[in-house]
Amino acid sequence: MAKRDSTKLDIVLLSVPRIAPVRPQMAMGVLKGICNELGLTSLVLDINQDFYLKWGKTNSDTVEKLDDYFIEFSKPLPFDVKEQYYEWLDQWVDKIVEKDPKHIGISVFSWQSQRFTRDLLTRLRPKTSAVIHIGGQGLVHNQNLSAHWANKVTFAWELLDNNLIDYFMKGESEDTFKRYMLGDRTLPGLNNDSVVKFSDLDTVALPDYTDLDVTDYQNGYEKGVLPIESSRGCVRSCSFCEMSSEHGGYRGKSGVSIAEEMIAYYDLYGVKDFYFHDDLMNGNLKDLNDMVDHLLDYYDKNALGDAYFSFSGYWIIRSEKNFNSGRWKRLKQAGANLFVVGIETGSDRLRKTVRKGFTNKDLEFSIKQLKENKLKFYFMLISGIPGETEQDFQDTLDMLTRWQKYVATGTIIGINLGTTATIEQGTDLYNNPDKYKVIGINNESPQGINWMSTETPELDYRERVRRRLKIQEHVIELGYPLWKGDDHLKIVMDQYMLNKDDWELYQSGLIM
């Protein structure tokens, strides 16, 4: 074990753009909690919060252009924006260097954080002797793929090869980070592409957000919102999701420990509102019901009344048999607020093909329960899923028309149309393309946007984009609250520009 210099800060942990500034990033709280457990000194700095809510407030035009720069890789940064950006970056570099830490850790939340991370490291690396490491889902050059399950974390290797970092941590790094901070440098996922899965969720130290003002985020709650996690992985095996791969088995915390964590945050910070970062917070119904029962018991013993806390997160549609109206009522009493659901399509046929595991009948029951219990609903759709027919697409448009009444009642508070369907490593679509009748272009395996369906050959990339535009026009006409629709269209265009030559050759018949 390496000897510690007790006079220096052990580690500075950085949260970086591009992340919605609605609550502290959970990774920072988890890592600081582990440092506390090890007796190490740490400091969390939220650069992302400064970018959007502080510096960003007085430089809104610059931030808007930078926001596009982070997601549109085909576009250069204008010179005047670059000057302001680099000046601000240098101010942050000076702040970090001034702390003189032994280690610097950066959480690369997604591919949308990659440009900023590279820009920061280019300016930070020459000015510090600290050991620099990165982790997070954004370690791979891929729009939708989580770095946890990528065969090769290409972005992390790029930074390592260019001497901008010393280490990267691939995968679920709670144990890796702990052992790394104790001096172990021969670990799975540490500067290698091994798969790292963490299972003992109940053993993780309580995340620590004391370096941050949890009320200083943009969420509308007086005492702020804190992230919470009850599980990893997924109980379903959707064909387009990498969590359906061999690496993503479901693991969960006990319902009582989840409720106790919420109570601990309330005692520490006064926070009563929570957002679950799980792939789905109802993966294990027993744990969910135990959490609900424990919260209701806590409210009763302390005379707090129903729904004293509130919680939101990802949800998977269950049948009435598995989650009946009585359970929906107790969920509301415990504090359930907003449910985020991947519906993907309005077609029962196509949803069965991609193995979502629920039907339109289940959906209609669930949205009725959401309305009756005055809960909020936010859902996601995917345009151009492999095998989508014109009728499947029409079923989706019809569903949206049918549900307009739930927009009027305030039940539906948002819709996310994303970009278009992609095929990612680790998914069943990627591993078994013949099963789904998909092929690649340019004699390559189907991946990203570069795929064709032999079942529906009309569903080329242009048609997928057309349907994506059509569905956005439809929801705007119906008055749906659309989340970052234009932002996603910028990504669609950027992806097309980056792959334009191949698609034009394919359309002309010069490549297959």
Query: Which pLDDT tens digit goes with each residue over 181-226?
Result: 999 999 999 999 988 888 788 888 899 999 999 999 999 898 999 9
Q: Residue 3 above 70 pLDDT?
A: no
The predicted pLDDT at position 2 comes to: 41
- Give me the mean pLDDT over the 157-170 stretch: 97
pLDDT digits (tens, 9 = 90+) for 240-282: 887 655 456 788 889 999 999 999 999 999 999 999 988 778 8
Q: In terms of Cα–Cα distance, which of 155, 49, 55 is closest to 110?
A: 155
More confident position, 394 or 3? 394
> What is the rounded CA–CA span in Å between residue 488 and residue 465?
11
- Give me the mean pLDDT over the 22-47 stretch: 96
Rg (CA), the chain: 23
Q: What residues does each domain of the chain span?
A: 11-203, 225-507
Q: Token digits for 214? A: 């949890």
- Give me the mean pLDDT over the 378-400 stretch: 96
pLDDT band at residue 443 using 50, 70 and 90 as cut-offs: confident
> What is the rounded CA–CA span in Å between residue 128 and residue 106?
15
> What is the rounded CA–CA span in Å between residue 14 and residue 188?
23
Q: Residue 27 above 90 pLDDT?
A: yes
Question: What percentage of the chain exceeds 70 in pLDDT?
Answer: 95
CATH 3.40.50.620 fits 225-507, yes or no: no
Q: Residue 6 above 60 pLDDT?
A: no
Phi, psi of 433 (to 5 degrees): -60, -35
Domain 11-203 CATH superfamily: Cobalamin-binding domain (3.40.50.280)
**Residues linked to residue 453 through DSSP beta bridges, in sequence order:** 438
- Give me the mean pLDDT over the 352-365 stretch: 95
> What is the rounded CA–CA span in Å between residue 208 and residue 320?
38
The predicted pLDDT at position 1 comes to: 36
The predicted pLDDT at position 145 comes to: 64
Contacts of 191 (CB under 8 A, 6+ apart): 160, 167, 168
> What is the rounded CA–CA span in Å between residue 217 and residue 227?
12
Same fold, 11-203 and 225-507: no
> What is the rounded CA–CA span in Å between residue 70 and residue 210?
29
The predicted pLDDT at position 333 comes to: 97
pLDDT digits (tens, 9 = 90+) for 59-100: 999 999 999 999 888 888 889 999 999 999 999 999 999 999
**Residues linked to residue 377 through DSSP beta bridges, in sequence order:** 339, 412
pTM comes to 0.89
Residue with tokens 């942990």: 13
Q: How far is CA 46 from CA 129, 212, 331, 506, in A?
A: 21, 8, 33, 45
Q: Token digits for 119? A: 């820009």
Task: Please say whether the beta carbons of 211 and 191 come within 8 A.
Answer: no
The predicted pLDDT at position 203 comes to: 84
